Amino acid sequence: MDPGSAGRAGDDPVDGTTRRRYLAAVAAGVAGSMAGCSGPNEIVDSPQVFGFQFPYVPENVHVGPWSSSDPAAFYSILFEAESYTTPGGERRLGDVIDSFETDGDTATVAYADGYTWWSGDPVTARDAWIEERIGSFVSGGRSYEVERLDDRRLRYRFERPLDRPLALSTAAGGAVRTRADRYEPWLDRFRDAGTDERRGEVAADLRTDSPGLETVADEGLGCGPFELVEVSINRLMLERYEDHPRADEVAVPRLWFPVVQSVSIENLVSKGWLDGGTGRLDDERGTPPENLEELARYPTNSGTKLVLDWRDPHLGRRPVRRAVLSVIPVDQVVDVTDWGEPTVRQTGLSAPAARRWLPEEVRERLHRYPVEADEETAAEYMREAGYSRDGNGDWRGPDGEQPSLSLATPVWSDFVSGAEVVASSLSQFGFDVETDRLTNSNVYAAVSNHTHDVTLWNFDGDPYSVYDLASDGSTSIGYGATGPDADAGSRGKPVEVSVPRQPGAVDAPAGERRTVDLRELWRTIEGPSDRETTVDAITTFATWWNDALPDVYLGTTVDGLWGNTRDFEWPSYDAAPEYGTAGPAGQPVFHMLKHGMIRPTTEE
């Protein structure tokens, strides 16, 4: 059976029916049979059709910012991104944004002319304004105000002036995905709801009643350069949207998304039905054919860390934190979990962000803690803190107590494997460690409520996220210090800290240190300033982190991109940003397809 037997999405209407209805009707006749298909066909083997996996059940998907079944790995192909980010965190304006200007505590976003929804309705500032207004009701408020100046412009007013990257990520960090006329009735319902309880009920309805894929196609609810034209149980088809401003740049005319539930990912890869993907090719199940090659591999802005709670009397001592890092075989943890590259310099920043923000001479000076387990160094740190071993080889503190730590990890297999290495290393070193595996139903509550001494969790290594003292999220430094008089964060970490005058001088005496208010330092980073001032503030924060170890980073995630080099031409790989740039939801292949960077080897 030929998976492409439904006909080309660009065929003329038959018997007066629309192209979309014709395709859907034919697709219904082949539904469920694709798993047994084999042999050449016009979709799989055509360089005019690009294949990418669809890891969802189409009928269960509902598209929308507040949908409980929003397809995170797919939706960005349907819409125009307001901005894009590189692996190092640099943010670039999307084409749908004509300009972005900041002035004090305000930012003005101007949307470009010429963009339309597939329905033919123009894309305007009202679309984005509707999303902001509904979002304020769903989340219970915003830390900024949004005013619609006219059909093209929105003005954001923040609580205080923000540095341009932070203002841009707040005001234009997503995609245009809420056509005003479709979502305005929801805004009216929120406005009419007189109580928080009633607004919560409206929000619950919105999460389960966002448009399905067939509705998106039938009502033209997308605005990207590829239009959704077919939805069936085994595949989705998209065509180049000829009225899009970049239509002439888009080189691949058709996209197909085989449903993974209909055909296993092993078969999709082994049969060569996929023409590209994000990640490392050797991580994909199945045996890739020769025409699939890994094209790029690069570190990202995220990774995994140990969240430390300084309220524990032992972790509150700097030498003990250094001992913990030294005795853990970070390289082994990263290896067994496949968590990318071991963290060599502890700064709170991801590897790409450190290269972007820290001068080379600073990076070279920063202290390098051991990546391999170094029990001798760890023991020196413990003795420095006044600890000694008892007759059983366990460590005892100045008060005679053995360090006793509760270690939490999600039940996800890689995290469990990493936690086992961490717990075993600390136990053999002489700590008392109890591991708690957090089920999916309670993991986020446990992490948010700081119920454990050490938690294995993710990190966001961008300085505008990780150094935010107001945030209590565990992916950041997690202080939650919002009040002006708070002298410590929610995990006992101080606001006023001692920082070595020279980066990396972790043994500097008091006379070679200075006192820094981290809250003021964060205000400098988040506020508008020239690059030199921002870099200086980030360097100071990184220097303190390198010395104090508020949390311990384990590995920076390594991502990649692979593709079909027989049927498609790919841009030359000169630097990570070329292949790692992506809009919301982080799909660099979609970004390249939507901007004509992937081209068929043969013309139509």
Same domain flag for 68 and 208: yes
Axis-axis angle for helices 180-192, 125-139 (nearest 10)? 30
Task: Categorize the per-residue pLDDT at 456 as very low, low, confident or very high, splitting at 50, 70 and 90.
Answer: very high
Same domain flag for 273 and 229: yes
* 20 located within any domain: no
Task: Categorize the per-residue pLDDT at 26 as very low, low, confident or very high, splitting at 50, 70 and 90.
Answer: very low
Per-residue pLDDT, 1: 34
Same domain flag for 580 and 516: no
Same domain flag for 413 and 439: yes
The domain boundary residue, chosen from 213, 237, 260: 213
Mean pLDDT value across residues 471-480: 87
Per-residue pLDDT, 262: 61
Q: Which CATH number goes with the domain that contains 280?
A: 3.40.190.10
Contacts of 256 (CB under 8 A, 6+ apart): 43, 49, 50, 51, 52, 235, 236, 237, 238
Task: Categorize the per-residue pLDDT at 358 as very low, low, confident or very high, splitting at 50, 70 and 90.
Answer: very high
* 28 located within any domain: no
Same domain flag for 549 and 568: no
Same domain flag for 293 and 264: yes
Q: Which CATH number goes with the domain that contains 89?
A: 3.90.76.10
Q: DSSP letter string over 507-532?
A: T--GGGEEEEEHHHHHHHHHS---HH
Same domain flag for 193 and 175: yes
Task: Categorize the per-residue pLDDT at 577 as very low, low, confident or very high, splitting at 50, 70 and 90.
Answer: low
Lowest mean pLDDT segment, chosen from 173-187, 252-266, 527-541: 252-266
Lowest mean pLDDT segment, chosen from 25-29, 220-224, 534-538: 25-29
pLDDT, greater one: 245 or 603: 245
Listed residue (471, 433, 480, 439) closest to 306, CA to CA = 433
* 26 located within any domain: no
Mean pLDDT value across residues 376-391: 96
- For the chain, the average pLDDT equals 89
Per-residue pLDDT, 11: 35
Per-residue pLDDT, 604: 66
Contacts of 328 (CB under 8 A, 6+ apart): 373, 421, 422, 425, 426, 552
* 294 located within any domain: yes
* 298 sits in which H/E element: strand 292-308
Distance CA 108, CA 102 (A): 6
Q: What tens digit of pLDDT does each residue of 184-224 get? A: 999 999 999 989 999 999 999 999 889 999 999 999 999 99
Task: Categorize the per-residue pLDDT at 281 as very low, low, confident or very high, splitting at 50, 70 and 90.
Answer: confident
Task: Categorize the per-residue pLDDT at 478 as very low, low, confident or very high, splitting at 50, 70 and 90.
Answer: confident
From residue 352, alpha-carbon distances to 90, 320, 358 in Å are: 10, 29, 10
* 425 located within any domain: yes
Task: Categorize the per-residue pLDDT at 263 as very low, low, confident or very high, splitting at 50, 70 and 90.
Answer: low
| Residue 533: pLDDT over 90 | yes
Task: Categorize the per-residue pLDDT at 474 as very low, low, confident or very high, splitting at 50, 70 and 90.
Answer: confident
Same domain flag for 366 and 471: yes
* 464 located within any domain: yes
Q: Would you state the torsion angle of the CA atoms of residues 506, 511, 517, 523, taken in this order, to the nearest 10 degrees?
A: -80
Give me the number of domains the chain comprises: 3
Q: What tens digit of pLDDT does each residue of 410-448 get? A: 999 999 999 999 999 999 999 999 999 999 888 888 888
Lowest mean pLDDT segment, chosen from 13-27, 194-208, 345-359, 578-592: 13-27
Q: Which CATH number goes with the domain that contains 367?
A: 3.10.105.10
Same domain flag for 122 and 246: no
Axis-axis angle for helices 413-429, 318-327 (nearest 10)? 110
| Residue 16: pLDDT over 60 | no
Same domain flag for 183 and 96: yes
The domain boundary residue, chosen from 182, 213, 244: 213
The domain boundary residue, chosen from 189, 213, 237: 213
Listed residue (149, 185, 538) closest to 362, CA to CA = 538
Same domain flag for 249 and 353: no
Per-residue pLDDT, 447: 87
Contact assessment for residue 126 and residue 150, using Cβ atoms and an 8 Å cutoff: no
* 4 located within any domain: no
Upper half-sphere CA count for residue 108 (Cβ side, 13 Å): 12
By residue range, what is the domain housing residue 279? 221-298+560-600
| Residue 18: pLDDT over 50 | no
Q: Which among 192-196, 350-354, 374-378, 445-449 has the top mean pLDDT?
A: 374-378
Mean pLDDT value across residues 121-145: 93
Per-residue pLDDT, 15: 36
Per-residue pLDDT, 47: 84
* 30 located within any domain: no
Alpha-helical (H) ranges within 82-212 are 125-139, 164-171, 180-192, 196-208
| Residue 322: pLDDT over 90 | yes
* 446 sits in which H/E element: helix 443-448
Put simply, whether the predicted model's pTM sits higher than 0.85 gets the answer no
Lowest mean pLDDT segment, chosen from 10-19, 48-57, 159-168, 571-580: 10-19
Per-residue pLDDT, 542: 98
Mean pLDDT value across residues 13-17: 35
Distance CA 541, CA 522 (A): 8
Lowest mean pLDDT segment, chosen from 2-6, 488-492, 574-578: 2-6
From residue 407, alpha-carbon distances to 23, 418, 426, 435, 481 in Å are: 54, 11, 11, 5, 24
| Residue 32: pLDDT over 50 | no
Axis-axis angle for helices 531-548, 318-327 (nearest 10)? 80
Contact assessment for residue 43 and residue 268, using Cβ atoms and an 8 Å cutoff: no
Same domain flag for 168 and 233: no
| Residue 36: pLDDT over 50 | no
Contact assessment for residue 222 and residue 75, using Cβ atoms and an 8 Å cutoff: no
